[in-house]
Structure 1
Amino acid sequence: MNKLTTLLTLSFLLVLTACQPKQETENAAEPPTKEWSIALHGGAGYVSPDMPEDRKQAYMESLEEALAIGSEILANGGSALDAIEKTVNYMEDNELYNAGKGAVFTSEGRNELDAAIMDGSTLNAGAITGVTTVKNPITLARRVMTDSKHVFFSADGAETFADETDVERVDPEYFYTERRYQSLQRAKAEEQESNLIETNEEKEWKYGTVGAVAKDVNGNLAAATSTGGMTNKKYGRVGDVPIIGSGTYANNLVAVSATGWGEKIMLNVSAHTLAAHMEFQEATLQQSMDYLVDEVLEPGDAGFIAVDKYGNFSMKTNTGSMFRAATDSEGNKEIGIW
């Protein structure tokens, strides 16, 4: 009996010894977590590297400013939701982008705006589509998330909900810009599929949707996206942006925002596809981003930004260019177009 007891004790100790290095290895494999991080986009597409220098500078400066707004909030301990909302607000107010001021025109000559926001810590979300008098659609989307029992309001219903809030309202003429109006005229004249998106005389093209994703110091993730849709879009068309899981998605693992051909993004439930690939394949953020952009979607379809629970960020497009910026608490920073 003593020999048996001794053998059992030795066996137990051997098991403990064998398990200890494995636990250390697992812990070592866990990547370090950054305190906070943020990424944003201002649209994907194909823009020539030979674009006028003054216009390139305007875009780069606006991306820098948008990034500064969000990163300052996060660095001061603010929430991911606040950071992405204020970042997107800035881009909605900048007519360089197709969101808010400077939104593209529908076939009927209107500016109809879509937006969505999602809180990864609660899986709650808010979305609106087809609004015409809300200065900052992403702010209304957040109010849908926090102040209603619903997730998604459309058109007249979204406007009615806005009436019950204190979000800033404007005359629809506020959204007008001559550049976008001329894009509509060219699209109507040609009525080609390629002209359902924003184009210019050089046949460059860009989806000007804006978005932001972030991780805050409390470990919460959030995603937000805002857009005017496609130039010359038809009667009541809704794109991917307000469709939770398509153009906008966040959970406690990753936050994603998309820009590109909305129909393609929707058909592949793209933002959620990235998140699901990370979870079920136990893949890294970059591996899942590569899978989505290179394997699921076709060249020219879309671009994405994402931040994971460790504070890693990834930004990738298969369209040739994407207006983008990102930074984190460790000083890593990227701003680019091509």
Structure 2
Amino acid sequence: MIRFLALLILALGLAGPAAAQEPPRWTIAIHGGAGVIERGQLTPERDAEYRAALEAAVEAGAEVLRNGGSSLDAVQASIEVMEDNPMFNAGRGAVFTAEGTNSLDAAIMDGQTLSAGAVAGVSRTRHPIALARAVMEQSPHVMLAGEGADAFAASVGLEQVDPAFFFTQRRWDQLVDTLTQRGWQIPERPAGTEPTSGASAALTDGDDHRFGTVGVVAVDSQGRIAAGTSTGGTTAKRWGRIGDTPVIGAGTWAGRGCAVSATGAGEYFIRLTVARDICGLNHAAHMPVQQAADLIISEVGSIGGDGGVIALTEDGSVAFSMNTSGMYRGWANQDTAPQVAIYSDEDVVLP
């Protein structure tokens, strides 16, 4: 009888306003790349620009989650903001290959179903992260590459652009500088682009971090967790090189209540299946996610790699870990406005 009355009270919404009005719980974390980013290296103006860009990316995903949207939608929203911002090595800010082209990679993963989508070597799709999601949701495949990936994007209605859309003078100057240092041939300037006058921002603003990959992890108010990553790769890469970003389990992973996005020397992250191993330690060994991330990043360093990760668990615990002097990063949840940081020694209060 008592149990019946209790159920009746719950059904009538009489169990107390606190439970009924409990705000939805959600968390989001982002990164915008890791590398040699030391205090004093960025001008105050450039520092402020990066912080504003990070806050805008966090807020784009937070807005989705605040309104009850899914973690997948939040991941895509935040990454698309960074893909459109030439300050990051993804989308329109992508670095150039040795041949003078842009070759874009991305991946996304749904932690509830273990569904995943990835693309590599994209050159005409404005938002590679949207294409990765389309591969996951609208094809029987996990990864598509090159012209075929762009053709699939067009077939499902994703915005296509001329390759010149991705051109930025700053990244071109970085390529020329790198090729000159290596004694390699400098390719012709891409068609449809015009030189800009003045000193190269790439060589004077001090923010040429090597691993500008962007990534997002999020858990929504329904406890669904997801991860996504997008990158232009490394400056002057050759022979169709692909890093860890689109490799599920290496640069991107979500599953068993944990999500990770990585940025760094992809060859090392692939060898150690970094993203999945962090979540494996958290799940199987019940290791706190920060401890798991620090352990795996330490292993990356032990074999000669550098970079960092962001990680998140379904209870909203966030971890940032890096073996570099900086990583562009930020986070927010239902109780906290976007918080951002750049340098490795910068204190970040985590949930």
Cα distance in 2, alignment partners of residues 199 and 248 from structure 1: 31
3-state SS of paired residue (1:111): coil
Does residue 142 (structure 1) correspond to residue 133 (structure 2)? The answer is yes
What residue number does 1:228 align with?
232
**Structure 2: gaps spanning 5 or more residues:** 1-22, 184-201, 344-351
Q: How does 1:1-338 map to 2 (within 5 A)?
A: 35-50=25-40, 51-191=42-182, 205-298=209-302, 301-331=306-336, 334-338=339-343
Cα distance in 2, alignment partners of residues 65 and 170 from structure 1: 24
Cα distance in 1, alignment partners of residues 331 and 56 from structure 2: 12
1:127 CA drift (Å): 0.3
How many percent identity over aligned positions? Answer: 43
8 Å CA contact retained: 2:136, 2:142: yes
Q: Deviations over 1:29-60 (max 9, x none)?
A: xxxx9811000010000123111111111100
Cα distance in 2, alignment partners of residues 249 and 242 from structure 1: 10
8 Å CA contact retained: 2:229, 2:251: yes
Cα distance in 1, alignment partners of residues 227 and 301 from structure 2: 21
8 Å CA contact retained: 1:108, 1:235: no
8 Å CA contact retained: 2:256, 2:283: no
8 Å CA contact retained: 2:268, 2:305: no
What residue number does 2:16 align with?
none
8 Å CA contact retained: 2:92, 2:165: yes
Cα distance in 2, alignment partners of residues 203 and 98 from structure 1: 12
3-state SS of paired residue (1:206): coil
Distance 1:334 1:300, change over 3 A: farther
User: What is the identity, as a one-letter code, of the residue corresponding to 2:84?
Assistant: D
Cα distance in 2, alignment partners of residues 140 and 147 from structure 1: 10
8 Å CA contact retained: 2:33, 2:209: no
8 Å CA contact retained: 1:34, 1:330: no
The alignment yields a C-alpha RMSD, in angstroms, of: 1.9
1:63 CA drift (Å): 0.5
8 Å CA contact retained: 1:45, 1:300: no
8 Å CA contact retained: 1:97, 1:208: yes
1:204 CA drift (Å): 5.4
1:189 CA drift (Å): 1.1
Cα distance in 2, alignment partners of residues 290 and 64 from structure 1: 25
8 Å CA contact retained: 1:129, 1:154: yes
3-state SS of paired residue (2:137): helix
User: What is the identity, as a one-letter code, of the residue corresponding to 2:286?
Assistant: E
Cα distance in 2, alignment partners of residues 301 and 77 from structure 1: 36
**Structure 1: gaps spanning 5 or more residues:** 1-32, 193-197
1:252 CA drift (Å): 3.0
8 Å CA contact retained: 1:112, 1:229: yes
Deviation beyond 6 Å, 4+ runs, structure 1? 198-201
Find the structure with the greater CA-based Rg. Answer: 1
| TM-score (ref. length: structure 1) | 0.85
| TM-score (ref. length: structure 2) | 0.82
1:330 CA drift (Å): 2.7
3-state SS of paired residue (2:91): coil
Cα distance in 1, alignment partners of residues 284 and 256 from structure 2: 14
Q: Deviations over 1:69-88 (max 9, x none)?
A: 11111111110000010100
What residue number does 2:12 align with?
none
Cα distance in 2, alignment partners of residues 125 and 203 from structure 1: 32
8 Å CA contact retained: 2:31, 2:328: yes
Cα distance in 2, alignment partners of residues 180 and 291 from structure 1: 33
